[in-house]
Amino acid sequence: MNISNKDPLLDLEHISKRFGGLQALKDVALTLYPGEVLALAGDNGAGKSTLIKTISGVHKPDTGTIKYCGQVIHLETPHQARDAGIETIYQDLAIADNLDVGGNVFLGREIVKRICGLPFVDRRRMRQEALETLQDLDIHIHHPENPLRSLSGGQRQSVAIGRAIHWKARVLIMDEPTAALGVPEQRKVMEIIERLKKSGVGVIFISHNLNDIFQVSDRILVLRRGEKVGERLISETNHDEVVRMMVAG
């Protein structure tokens, strides 16, 4: 793995965030390279979600800089982050489960064809293009014309990932992507992450499951009470050391 000779996608320095009297993040640094999977680990309340929310434009950090593709950016809203190519996959927020795959992937950016000058939403083409993107990620949807509510949780999540990729996300952030899924579906999400990695997307994912982390990540960053207490290449650490960092620092 020779990621060091590429320029980082994300480069965060000295990030601090305070909620009232609570120091949620304290002088945290984070780097993410293209084609790299970075795992965020830490106990409950360690600041993992807060950290990714500063990257996805939900929270503004009190101090520190965020560089994206070499440039300092100031994200005011999640929209700005997404437009820039930083996409966050949430468990519940991304999908309108009364729409089909095409409707979801193209939500807000529907394809329109003209018939006698009148615009008509082109459902067939949206479905086709959505399925093509999903196929590239090895995601297969059996009845693509059905609303997503008939799909499993994992498949819905795949559609959300597919949507991000279709719109050229370069950084994909997943907060506990496998928490609500059964075992086969967890495995599927891990496979998708592998594929994303190959296509050069940078992935940050939060997980409590060390097996998942060790399976797909290249690097792990451990937070404790808002501080970065360790960072290791996965190839150079083990479960025990990570657990020690999480609880003891």
Partner 1 sequence: MLVEKKITKPAPLAGGEARKAFRWLAVLAAFRAWLFLAILLAAFELWARVAYGGTFVFNPLNVKSIALFTVTPLLLALGQTFVIISGGIDLSVGFTMGLSAVVTAHVYNWAAQSGNSGLSLVVAVAAGLGIAVVPGLINGLLIADLRVPPFIGTLGMYGVARGVAFLLAKGTTVPVQGGLMGAIGNGETLGFPNLVLLTIAIILVMHYLLSHTRYGQHIYAIGGNVNAALRAGINVRNATIALYILSALSAGCAGIFYTAKFSAGAAQAGEPVLLDSIAAVVIGGASLFGGSGTIIGTIIGALIVAVIQYGLVFVNVEPFWQFVAVGVVIIISVLVDQIQKGARK
Residue ranges that bind partner 1, judged by CB under 8 A: 49, 53, 58, 78-79, 82, 90-99, 103-104, 107-110, 112, 118-121, 149, 152-153, 175-176, 179-182
Q: Which does 35 bind (CB under 5 to 8 A by kind): partner 1, Mg ion, ligand ADP, none?
A: none
Q: Which does 18 bind (CB under 5 to 8 A by kind): Mg ion, partner 1, ligand ADP, none?
A: none
Alpha carbon 60 to chain centroid, angstroms: 18
DSSP characters over 1-51: --GGGSPPSEEEEEEEEEETTEEEEEEEEEEE-TT-EEEEEE-TTSSHHHH
Cα-Cα-Cα-Cα dihedral sign, residues 20, 242, 221, 191: negative
Interface with ligand ADP (CB under 6 A): 19, 22, 24, 42, 44-50
CB contact at 8 A, 38 and 32: yes
Nearer to Mg ion, 52 or 201 (CB): 52
CB of 5 to partner 1, least distance (A): 35
Residue 53, φ and ψ in degrees, nearest 5: -70, -25
Burial class (CB in 10 A: 0-12, 13-18, 19+), 240: exposed
Nearer to ligand ADP, 19 or 120 (CB): 19
Q: Which does 237 bind (CB under 5 to 8 A by kind): ligand ADP, Mg ion, partner 1, none?
A: none
- 86, 88, 228, 45: CA torsion to nearest 10: 150
Nearer to Mg ion, 195 or 208 (CB): 208
CB contact at 8 A, 53 and 31: no
Nearer to Mg ion, 49 or 209 (CB): 49
CB of 162 to Mg ion, least distance (A): 24
Interface stretch with Mg ion, choices 30-38, 41-49, 92-100, 119-127 (CB under 5 A): 41-49
Nearer to partner 1, 3 or 107 (CB): 107
CB contact at 8 A, 245 and 237: no
